[in-house]
Structure formats: C-alpha cells, structure tokens
A = this chain, B = another copy of it.
Amino acid sequence: MTSKSLDYENLNENVKKCQYAVRGELYLRASELQKEGKKIIFTNVGNPHALGQKPLTFPRQVVALCQAPFLLDDPNVGLIFPADAIARAKHYLSMTSGGLGAYSDSRGLPGIRKEVAEFIEKRDGYPSDPELIFLTDGASKGVMQILNTIIRGAGDGILVPVPQYPLYSATIALLGGSLVPYYLEETANWGLDIANLRQSVAQARSQGITVRAMVIINPGNPTGQCLSEANLREVLTFCYQNNLVLLGDEVYQQNIYQDERPFISAKKILMDMGPPISKECQLVSFHTVSKGYWGECGQRGGYFEMTNISPKTVEEIYKVASIALSPNVPAQIFMGLMVNPLKPGDISYERFVRESKGILESLRRRAQIMTDGFNSCRNVVCNFTEGAMYSFPQIRLPPKAIEAAKKAGKVPDVFYCLKLLEATGISTVPGSGFGQKEGVFHLRTTILPAEEDMPEIMASFKKFNDEFMEQYEDHRGYSRM
C-alpha cells in the first residue's frame, strides 16, 4: 500500500516533535478512567468553571443581551435583566457593525481596544495606544502569532523559563525554532537569577543560535511566584543589552494571594526606567479573560499590547491576523467588561464586587490549604503560591521508585502521577511536562477544586503519597537537592 500524504510518516516533522503535557498522557488516561466511571478531579488545567466556579453574573447578562439584541425591545426585559446590563449591552452593540454575528476588524473592535488602552493607562500610569493592541481568541493564540512573526528557523532561539508553561515549548517546536531554557531557582521561591540568563544565552550562542526573544510568565506558571520590581528591571536591562524582545505573559495579573509582592507589569517598569530603554526595548504583553476571578476560559478572549514595535511590523502582524478574519466577537465583549468593570453606584456593582471578592478570597485560602497540605507529606516540599492558579510541589522520589518507573518504561514523575491518578482520581501534570532540573521531580496541580472539597483532596493525596513513599523507600535515605 502506498504511503499517503496524511499518513504519520509523511507529516510535518515539527508537528510530530511538539509536546503539550497539560493535555498529554495523564489527561488522556484520566479521560479514559472517567469514561469507565471513575470520579476524576481534573486539576491538570486552569479551568475554574469546570471545577464549579460560577461565572460572574453581570458580564454574562451583558453578553446574553448582546447575543439576543431583539430582547432590548421586549417590554419584559427589565423583569430579568438589570438596567445597567441593558445599558452596557447597548454600549457594546453600538461598537459593532452588525452585532456579534459580524466579523470585526481583524485586530478586534476599535471601541474595545480603546477600553483596553484605558485600562492599561490606569494600571500603569503611562499612555497606551489602541492601535498597538490586538484582541485575540485567548492569550495562547496571541503568543503563537507573535512567536510565528519572530521565528525564522532553527537558528532562532527563544529564552523560556524552566519550569515553563508548555504553550511555549510546543509552539517553538511547531514553528521550528529553538527553545533556550533558563532555570528558575526553586530554593529562592522560584526567583529569576540574571546570572542564569547570561549563562543560557552564552551557551546558546556557542551553539550558533541567535537568541531573539525572552519569555517571562508573571505571576509564574507553573511556579506561582510574582516577579519583584528589581527582577523586572534586571530582565528589561538584559533584554535591552542583548537586543531581545520581551514577551510578558501576564495572564494571571489579577490572581495574587499575598500582599508583600503585588503584580507589576513589565510595561510599567519599562516606562519607569526612562530613555533610552523605555524607547528602545521591544515588549509584547499578553492578557486574557480566562483567568483572574473571571475564569471565562471557554469564551477564548485575550489581547496583546505592543511597545516599541515599528508600524511596518504592526502592519505585518495585522496582515497575518486578517487571514483568519477576526477573533470571536462575544469574547471581545467579555474583554471590554473585564477592563472596564462596574463602578460604585452602578445597580449591579455590589453584587459584582461580592462575587469577585468571594472567588479571589477563596482562591487565596485554597492556595494556603494546598501548600500546607503538600508540605505535610513525606518527601514533598512546596513553595507558597504567591499568584496564578497552581501549586508545584517537589516530589523527592526514592531511588527504588525511579527504578520501578524505568522498569515500567515511564519517566519517574509520570509514573508517580499515573499512580496518584489511579489511586485517588486526582489528575495532575508531571513536572517533566514543564521542565525541571535533572533528577528533580515535581507535579503541577491547580488550586481550583472547590474549597469545601480541598481538605478531603489533600488527605487523599497525603494517604497516597505517604504509602507510595513507604513502599519505595529503602529507609536508608537518598540524595536531596
């Protein structure tokens, strides 16, 4: 039989090379077990509504009205929709040319991009230009587009933190570029050490790679840390000196669970630093409606803002965006609602604040329960989740467990996570999917299970883990990092 175009052996090699662990082997096994009737706790992906988080009422009212504009003329509409939701729906519909069913401009609706710019200005205290803001179908699609604009081939390197969110490794592989890792320091609460960065770039250069961009994820995914102002200054100086465009993945900027280290945007620090750096260093920042206290993942809404990017390049990015015509319009409305929230005095304001504070405060408590839970387990150590939605405990696997994994043909942390899944139904992602130092093992779990379920989940985890350790420890100790 002849081999055909879409037979495996003939596919684009870059497609085959890329890996995406968040929906990899563990997720597929969990889906199978679920089909067989096992109760699965899906903590593999930051998908809050799937774990019971309720959507915020006001934005849903507005988007429902935008979907059904004929309701705006219905005399009974006031019986089930508040007046401010009706007004807001009219506001957003007036920005469209033909409602939610019409393609928007490929960069997104100009009116929403203006609201995003106003949000950024207010957040950072510096001007933001709507013409440099593009709306996207979720932040991931924006990241993919920018990386596609940068990467020309295997000689182009992108600095990516390790551990990292596998969107980056997968996309770089798909585009045929080279991932240049820089390690975050677990013992320094996953801080970024500029010496590691220098070393990574030097090593890449010695291999003939041109490092062209650097990714930061702030707050960190999967690591949960918030970058300090000093750290951000160092990063920007480094990018400036090395002629790198900085990609600032800031999708968790509203998910902060401590007061000592608030979120600060890369754009603000860049502007604070003044010329020449503020006028020279290229930056693209990403945001989303999927995270924060919104968690509107399924809507697929995001934006990116470009700083110090020339009009000619912006035109090229616009051209490529136009091939798929436009980001989905309903999610653009969600983005407008997120960046331009209700104000004190609005009819729905108190409810909105109650709902959003409730979610954030509960996430903060859950971050603490989870960290404490992991740290109470044998051979498990875990930094506190300062921000984002994940806990990333280190699992100190005994040599016998590593041997058993090898025998089973599994990477050791995959082996551990599979056993955890089978025993407890907790679906996590092995640390190897994010990258980790040689011989060190982790897992990532979201902090999203319902607060009332948390104690039981952590008890179930502890029982599994401690028995696992009992089984595989030789009681003679083993090396620690």
Chain A: residues with CB nearer than 8 A to chain B?
1-2, 4-8, 10-13, 15-16, 18-20, 22-23, 45, 47-53, 55, 57, 60-61, 63-65, 67-68, 70-71, 74, 76-77, 79-80, 96-104, 106, 137-138, 140-141, 144, 148-152, 167, 170-171, 174, 212-213, 243-245, 280, 282, 284, 294-300, 306, 308-310, 312-313, 316, 319-320, 322-331
Contact = CB atoms under 8 A, between A and B. Distances in A.
Contacts of A76: 76, 79-80
A298 B282 contact: no
A288 to B, nearest CB: 11
Contacts of A327: 300
A285 B252 CA distance: 38
A173 to B, nearest CB: 10
Nearest to A54: B70
Nearest to A101: B49
28 contacts: A5-B150, A5-B243, A6-B149, A11-B149, A11-B150, A12-B151, A15-B149, A16-B316, A22-B322, A23-B319, A47-B103, A52-B98, A60-B68, A63-B67, A64-B65, A64-B71, A67-B67, A76-B80, A79-B80, A101-B296, A101-B298, A101-B299, A170-B323, A298-B326, A299-B328, A300-B329, A328-B328, A330-B330
A13 B153 CA distance: 10
Contacts of A297: 101-103, 325-326
Contacts of A150: 5-6, 11-12
B64 A171 contact: no
B79 A299 contact: no
A12 B323 contact: no
Given A322-B23, A326-B300, A102 B49 contact: yes
B170 A18 contact: no
A324 B144 contact: yes
Contacts of A243: 2, 4-5
A150 to B, nearest CB: 6
Interface centre among A103, A316, A323 (most CB of B within 10 A): A323
Nearest to A300: B328
A350 to B, nearest CB: 17
A285 to B, nearest CB: 13
Contacts of A101: 48-49, 53, 55, 294-299
B103 A18 contact: no
Given A51-B98, A322-B20, A5 B61 contact: no
A120 to B, nearest CB: 19
A141 B324 contact: yes
Nearest to A45: B103
B50 A323 contact: no
B18 A320 contact: yes
Contact of A331 (B1, B60, B328): B328
Contact of A323 (B1, B71, B79, B140): B140
A361 B143 CA distance: 43
Nearest to A12: B152
A473 B457 CA distance: 82
A306 B5 CA distance: 13
A245 B298 contact: no
A212 B282 contact: no
A12 B151 CA distance: 6
A319 B99 contact: no
Contacts of A299: 100-101, 328-330
Given A64-B67, A170-B323, A298-B329, 19 more contacts: A1-B280, A4-B245, A5-B150, A6-B149, A12-B148, A12-B149, A12-B151, A12-B152, A18-B323, A48-B101, A51-B98, A76-B80, A96-B298, A101-B296, A102-B297, A102-B298, A138-B324, A140-B323, A148-B174
